[in-house]
Amino acid sequence: MAEQFQEPVVEQIYTLNLGPQHPSTHGVLRVLLDLDGEFIIKADPVIGYGHRGHEKMAENRTYKQFMPNSSRMDYLSGLLYNHGFVLAVERFAGVEVPERAKYIRVICAELNRISSHLLWFGTYIMDLGGFTPFLYCFDDRENILDILDRVTGSRLTYSYCRFGGVNRDLDGEFISMTRAFIERLRSRWTDYHNLVTKNVIFIHRTRDVGVITPELARQYGVVGPNLRACGIPFDVRKSEPYEVYDRFDFVIPTGTKGDALDRYNVRLEEMEQSCRIIEQALDQLPEGPHINEVAPFKVKPPRGEIYFAFESARGLTAYYLVSDGSPYPYRCHIRVPSFGNLQVLTEVFRGTLVADAISILGSIDVVIPEIDR
């Protein structure tokens, strides 16, 4: 029916204000929808409700002081952002990092990626009206939070990485907990596939819904799983390997059509690949210090700039830092993946039903505070 959408002949357009308080806008997103019946003629996302001015804050803080801010942009994959910021400053200022710390960071970052994808999985099915998988996912995610809580001391907005290493070392308990968790997660796939992936209602709600073609993705700068779902195997962990990602054997899952079902499958497969990375990292975990004790107390990068890209749970994220040689960044710009991912919706929403719009919005996996910064 969505394919039969035609330009409305009547001039009476029903404007629906979806959000900012709405059960499925995931944060404070407001979308002005012009409707013809239940077909969307035009969608105009309104953002900025969660703008906190992180970029201005960065200019008034030292690099170390800004570190806690970094995990508060995308609160679902805070550790990844934290990791990315630390990596950017380390490369900029030339701080050495011990081998063990690199592995620890990768393990924690990938755990965080799984937790972010698990939360997406649950909330996406909830957007489609299925409540139960949501709680199953939260049950699994709770495990990750416990594991990360053990070593980082926090459950959501981690500030675990330090310039030159990590805050606390891993212990044997952490390693056995992580291995047990991976075992458990793998046994859960069957449940998830039986409950959701093979469900005929779910397939009908997602197949051919919200198709993003490779060209559309390029025009709007769509990145991450959404881009990979349309068949382009682009992942910063492979194309510009940072940290120790080039030492692990993992594949980039891709889709073919770029519809919501592909995005779903890509994310599910990504969790499995993250499990593989964690396992390999745990196997290769070297002995040694977890932090570079001789790292400078006050980081002062040289004059110039750096653009550091990394793969967060939602795609290519980048810190653009300009330094004047002082301990304060002259400018700190954060390129967030959800920015392009959300903007493409203005195009994708056209001609879909309201119910599909919710499905598409969920499948894109945007985190609004990340866009608002």
Q: How many residues bind other proteins (CB under 8 A)?
A: 80
Stretch that binds other proteins, among 63-71, 105-113, 165-173, 218-226 (CB under 8 A): 218-226
Nearer to other proteins, 288 or 304 (CB): 304
When asked if residue 213 is in the footprint of other proteins (CB under 8 A), the reply is no
Residue 72: which residues within 8 A CB-CB, separation 6 or more?
52, 54, 78, 157, 369
Q: Which residue has the tokens 């004790």?
A: 293
Q: Which residue in 66, 202, 245, 250 binds other proteins (CB under 8 A)?
A: 202
Q: Could you tell me which stretch among 10-18, 111-119, 248-256, 274-282 binds other proteins (CB under 8 A)?
A: 10-18
Stretch touching other proteins by CB under 8 A, among 63-71, 253-261, 278-286, 348-356: 348-356
Q: Smaller CB distance to other proteins: residue 286 or 302?
A: 302
**Residue 86 binds other proteins (CB under 8 A):** no
Select the residue interacting with other proteins from 146, 171, 183, 324 (CB under 8 A).
Answer: 324
Q: Residues 218-221: contacts with CB within 8 Å, 24+ apart?
A: 220/340, 220/343, 220/344, 220/347, 221/339, 221/340, 221/343
Of 356, 363, 366, 370, which lies in the binding site for other proteins, with binding defined by CB under 8 A?
356
In the range 15-74, which residues lie near other proteins by CB under 8 A?
Answer: 16-17, 22-24, 38, 47-48, 51, 53, 55-56, 59-60
In whole angstroms, what is the distance from residue 302 CA to residue 327 CA? 10
Q: Is 330 in the site for other proteins (CB under 8 A)?
A: yes
Q: Which residues within the stretch 221-280 sit at the binding site for other proteins (CB under 8 A)?
A: 221, 232-234, 238-240
CA–CA gap between residue 300 and residue 320 (Å, rounded) = 16
Q: Which is nearer to other proteins, 75 or 167 (CB)?
A: 75
Report yes or no: 160 and 166 within 8 Å, Cβ to Cβ. Answer: yes
> Quick count: other Cβ atoms within 10 Å of Cβ 281?
23
How many residues does the structure list for the chain?
373
What is the C-alpha separation between 134 and 244, in angstroms, rounded?
Answer: 33
Q: Is 176 in the site for other proteins (CB under 8 A)?
A: no
The answer to whether 105 and 166 are in contact (CB under 8 A) is yes
Residue 76: count of CB within 10 angstroms of its CB: 25
Q: Does 13 bind other proteins (CB under 8 A)?
A: no
